[in-house]
Amino acid sequence: MKLIETGIQDLFVIEPDVFSDERGYFFESFSLTKFLKHHLNYNFVQDNEAKSVFGVIRGLHYQTNEKAQSKLVRVIQGSVKDVVVDIRPHSSTYGKIFSIELTETNKLQLLIPKGFAHGYSVLSDTSIFSYKCDEFYSKENEGGIYLLDPQLNIDWEVPIDKAIMSEKDKLWPHFGLHKM
């Protein structure tokens, strides 16, 4: 497993060791031993999976207080543009955006620490997106940022007339107005 720095503290791209032959491929999508070797001590308690079609944009979501979540995200099928925004109030990279294309082919993963808003857009016909969380979902601690916020100016790589967003995601406050 290769740990790739992103320029934002505690946010890492993970490149797993993939073994391929005529039968297909094999890789460890998560290994506590390998995480601990890199001083990454997470206690993941829940796995989630979402299937979506081209144009779906989900986000930008986060959990607050004692229910804040770290996530390990990856794509099982298809391709997504994965986006995070550092919303840690005292971080030197507060407001900084990081994005990466995660695909079934590159098998890259993104390790997202607590204190980040997270979202993704589906770039392929369909995608299956998988993520581990180190805390259970809590509706009372749910937060979000409007995903088309002009201050953030995120290029989701989906034409706006083809974008499929939940009504809830359209109603989140703008970046400067969210409450962490």
Which pLDDT score, from 0 to 100, does residue 176 have? 79
User: What is the average pLDDT score of the chain?
Assistant: 95
174 is an active site residue: no
For the stretch 110-139, pLDDT in tens is 999 999 999 999 999 999 999 999 999 999
* Catalytic position from the list 61, 118, 120, 146: 61
pLDDT tens by residue, 58-75: 999 999 999 999 999 999
Instruction: Name the residue among 124, 48, 118, 59 with its Cα closest to residue 110.
Output: 118
What percentage of residues in the chain have a pLDDT greater than 90?
A: 97
Tens-digit pLDDT profile for residues 6-43: 999 999 999 999 999 999 999 999 999 999 999 999 99
User: Does the structure show a pLDDT above 60 at 180?
Assistant: no
Of 62, 120, 131, 146, catalytic? 131
Strands (E), 70-174: 71-77, 79-86, 97-103, 109-112, 116-122, 126-133, 142-144
Q: Quick check: 83 and 99 in contact, CB under 8 A?
A: yes
Q: What's the pLDDT score for residue 105?
A: 96
For each of the domains in the chain, give its residue range(s) and CATH number, in order of start: 7-14+43-177 (2.60.120.10)
Q: What is the per-residue pLDDT across 141-160, written as a single tens digit (0 to 9) for each?
A: 999 999 999 999 999 999 99
